[in-house]
């Protein structure tokens, strides 16, 4: 079992930080949470992640690990005695990694593009692309879960964490733009999975409520406007 | 039990080269199928319907996509020989981080060199060199990114070396002049048979880029 200090640099509103919090909680590891402020990056962050200067950064025995997907796999490798995050079968692992990559490199950037798009028409164009992605994720879920509750089977796993962590912000954006991104009629299995994921013991105190995230978003933009004037 | 392994790729693809190196390192017999990306085969479209891209590894009929995911899969299935990733969790994390850095920066950085307008050429060259400098920093005094032996990051990065003459030709600059350490590392890697046999002829890659530039209306 891994020993040594565990520190997590982050902010509670970042879904990528939430991923790491969920993974550590699965392994019953309680990190020291070092809060970064959004506007000024700390010396520790700049020293620990000189390449990207971004959170989350996990510091295990003061050694930094960066990039949320790398951190999740590191946690799984370092605490092998807790419940597994990645599947045990190599093929299932490859599939999980494939979809995690799809979510982070294709699907979520579209969600961010949606948020930044101006006006209902521009947003509708992006929403069309997201909807195509949603159908792929729904099909993937049905194939991967093998009839069980989560991508990971009976318990949450890698893909549940990767996708689930983003849903707080997806719902916050839905609220702010008053447009549905996740259509339950088109993704019924994932809609049910979403409810199960958010109420899971490991997850429920970590992913912030959409209302709170929407509030933070508003405040952050007010702050940015104020400092740029 | 005999494994059936098929690799769908193209000769010029750095991503396919990574998989070829991995398969060679493990001594795995496989069937290679060259794809024409202007006319994708039904097999490719069936095996990678999401991205429709190569490389795809088909192991006993089941597809694995995305080159670094394929390399990890190969390492996990054929685990009794020539490990491709370190066993120490921290070193594994560092290997994954740097392979991901290569994916995020080097392909697009390199592509910019041969697609950019003349007035932006110097900036494109400079940006690419900056990425190589970061990698040189990470390499340090080690013979390989993996330390004493060739590993995951080396495998992720070395295929780009076969594209360097093309970058230098269209960027009109010498990479070795600015990054001698990087080129020394690359030459060291090329001494390995698994690498030299898997990388494509740089002259043919240059010819390919000439054709691509014409098709894209750049030249």
Phi first, then psi, for residue A61 (nearest 5°) are 55, 40
Which residues, 6+ apart, have CB-to-CB distance to B77 below 8 Å?
A90, B59
In chain A, how many domains are there? 2
pLDDT-based confidence at A219, cuts 50/70/90?
Answer: confident
Please list every residue in chain B whose beta carbon sits closer than 8 Å to the beta carbon of residue A158.
none
DSSP class of residue A57 equals E
Residue B155 and residue B189 in one domain: yes
Does residue A84 belong to any structural domain of this protein? no
DSSP class of residue A106 equals I
Distance from C-alpha of B49 to C-alpha of B45, rounded to nearest angstrom: 5
Reported as a single tens digit per residue, the pLDDT across A186-200 is: 999 999 999 999 999
- Residue of chain B minimizing CA distance to A139: B50
Q: Is A40 exposed, middle or buried (0-12, 13-18, 19+ CB in 10 A)?
A: exposed
Residue A70 forms contact with B (CB below 8 Å): yes
In chain B, how many domains are there? 2
Q: How large is the ipTM?
A: 0.96
Does residue B120 belong to any structural domain of this protein? yes
Decide if B66 contacts A101 (C-beta within 8 A). yes
Please list every residue in chain B whose beta carbon sits closer than 8 Å to the beta carbon of residue A136.
50
- Answer with the residue of higher pLDDT: A229 or A139: A139
Q: Name the percent of chain A in helix, strand, coil, to the closest 5.
A: 55, 10, 35
DSSP class of residue A157 equals -
Which range marks the domain in which residue A15 is found? 6-78
pLDDT on residue A225? 79
Which among B76, B90, B97 is the nearest to A90, CB-wise?
B76
- The residues on B that touch A, with CB distances below 8 Å, are 50, 59, 62, 64-66, 69-70, 72-73, 76-77, 89-90, 92-93, 96-97, 100-101, 134
Reported as a single tens digit per residue, the pLDDT across B120-151 is: 999 999 999 999 999 999 999 999 999 999 99
From the list B37, B72, B11, the residue with the least C-alpha distance to A101 is: B72
Say which CATH number the domain at B193 has.
1.20.1050.10
Distance from C-alpha of A45 to C-alpha of B144, rounded to nearest angstrom: 27
Asked whether the beta carbons of residue B69 and residue A67 sit closer than 8 angstroms, the reply is: no
Q: Is the peptide bond before A56 cis (omega within 30 degrees of 0)?
A: yes
Asked whether the beta carbons of residue A73 and residue B93 sit closer than 8 angstroms, the reply is: yes
Give whole-number Cα distances, B156 to A183, B6, B9, B13, B145, in Å.
Answer: 39, 20, 16, 12, 10
Which among B64, B92, B93 is the nearest to A94, CB-wise?
B64
pLDDT on residue A2? 63
Residue A204 and residue A97 in one domain: yes
Reported as a single tens digit per residue, the pLDDT across B148-206 is: 999 999 999 999 999 999 999 999 999 999 999 999 999 999 999 999 999 999 999 99
Residue A38 and residue A117 in one domain: no
Say which CATH number the domain at B46 has.
3.40.30.10
Reported as a single tens digit per residue, the pLDDT across A163-189 is: 999 999 999 999 999 999 999 999 999
Does residue B84 belong to any structural domain of this protein? no
pLDDT on residue A38? 67
Phi first, then psi, for residue A223 (nearest 5°) are -65, -45
Distance from C-alpha of B114 to C-alpha of B214, rounded to nearest angstrom: 11
Which range marks the domain in which residue B45 is found? 5-77
Chain A: closest CA distance from residue B123 (Å):
20
Task: Find the mean pLDDT for residues A34-61.
Answer: 93
Please list every residue in chain A whose beta carbon sits closer than 8 Å to the beta carbon of residue B64.
91, 94, 98
Give the predicted TM-score (pTM) of the model: 0.96
Chain B: closest CA distance from residue A202 (Å):
24
Reported as a single tens digit per residue, the pLDDT across B13-53 is: 999 999 999 999 999 999 999 999 999 999 999 999 999 99
Which among B73, B76, B96 is the nearest to A70, CB-wise?
B96
Mean per-residue pLDDT over chain A, rounded: 94
Reported as a single tens digit per residue, the pLDDT across A80-128 is: 998 999 999 999 999 999 999 999 999 999 999 999 999 989 999 999 9
Q: How far is CA A2 from the centre of its chain?
A: 24
pLDDT on residue B209? 97
Task: Find the mean pLDDT for residues B70-75.
Answer: 98
């Amino acid at each position: 079992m891994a020993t040594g200090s565990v520190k997590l640099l982050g902010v509670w509103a970042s879904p990528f930080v939430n991923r790491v919090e969920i993974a550590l909680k699965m392994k019953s590891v309680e990190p020291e949470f070092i809060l970064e402020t959004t506007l000024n990056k700390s010396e520790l962050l700049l020293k620990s992640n000189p390449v990207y200067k971004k959170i989350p950064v996990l510091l295990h025995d003061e050694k930094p690990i960066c990039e949320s997907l790398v951190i999740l796999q590191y946690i799984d490798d370092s605490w092998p005695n807790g419940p597994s995050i990645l599947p045990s079968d190599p093929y299932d692992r490859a599939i999980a990694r494939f979809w995690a990559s799809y979510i982070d490199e294709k699907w979520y950037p579209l969600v961010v593009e949606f948020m930044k798009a101006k006006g209902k028409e521009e947003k509708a164009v992006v929403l069309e692309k997201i909807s195509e992605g949603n159908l792929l994720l729904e099909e993937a879920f049905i194939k991967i879960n093998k009839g069980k509750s989560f991508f990971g089977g009976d318990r949450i796993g890698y893909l549940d964490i990767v996708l689930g962590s983003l849903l707080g912000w997806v719902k916050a954006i839905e609220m702010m733009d008053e447009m549905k991104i996740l259509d339950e009629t088109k993704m019924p299995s994932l809609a049910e999975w979403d409810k199960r994921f958010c109420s899971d013991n490991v997850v429920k105190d970590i992913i912030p409520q959409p209302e709170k995230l929407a509030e933070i978003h508003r405040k952050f933009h007010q702050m940015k406007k104020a400092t740029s004037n | 039990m005999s494994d059936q392994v098929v690799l769908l790729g193209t000769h010029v693809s750095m991503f396919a080269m990574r998989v070829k190196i991995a398969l060679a390192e493990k001594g795995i017999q496989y069937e290679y199928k060259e794809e024409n990306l202007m006319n994708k085969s039904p097999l490719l479209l069936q095996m990678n319907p999401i991205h429709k891209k190569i490389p795809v590894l088909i192991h006993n009929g089941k597809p694995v996509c995305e080159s670094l995911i394929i390399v990890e899969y190969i390492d996990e299935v054929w685990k009794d020989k020539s490990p491709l990733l370190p066993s120490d969790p921290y070193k594994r994390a560092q290997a994954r981080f740097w392979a991901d850095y290569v994916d995020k920066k080097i392909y697009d950085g390199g592509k910019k060199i041969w697609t950019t307008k003349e007035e932006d050429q110097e900036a494109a060259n400079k940006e690419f060199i900056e990425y190589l400098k970061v990698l040189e920093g990470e390499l340090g005094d080690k013979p390989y990114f993996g330390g004493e032996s060739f590993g995951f990051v080396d495998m992720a990065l070395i295929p780009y070396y076969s594209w360097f003459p093309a970058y230098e030709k269209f960027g009109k600059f010498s990479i070795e002049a600015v990054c001698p350490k990087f080129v020394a590392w690359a030459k060291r890697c090329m001494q390995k048979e698994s690498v030299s046999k898997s990388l494509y002829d740089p002259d043919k890659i240059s010819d390919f880029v000439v054709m691509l530039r014409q098709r894209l209306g750049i030249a």
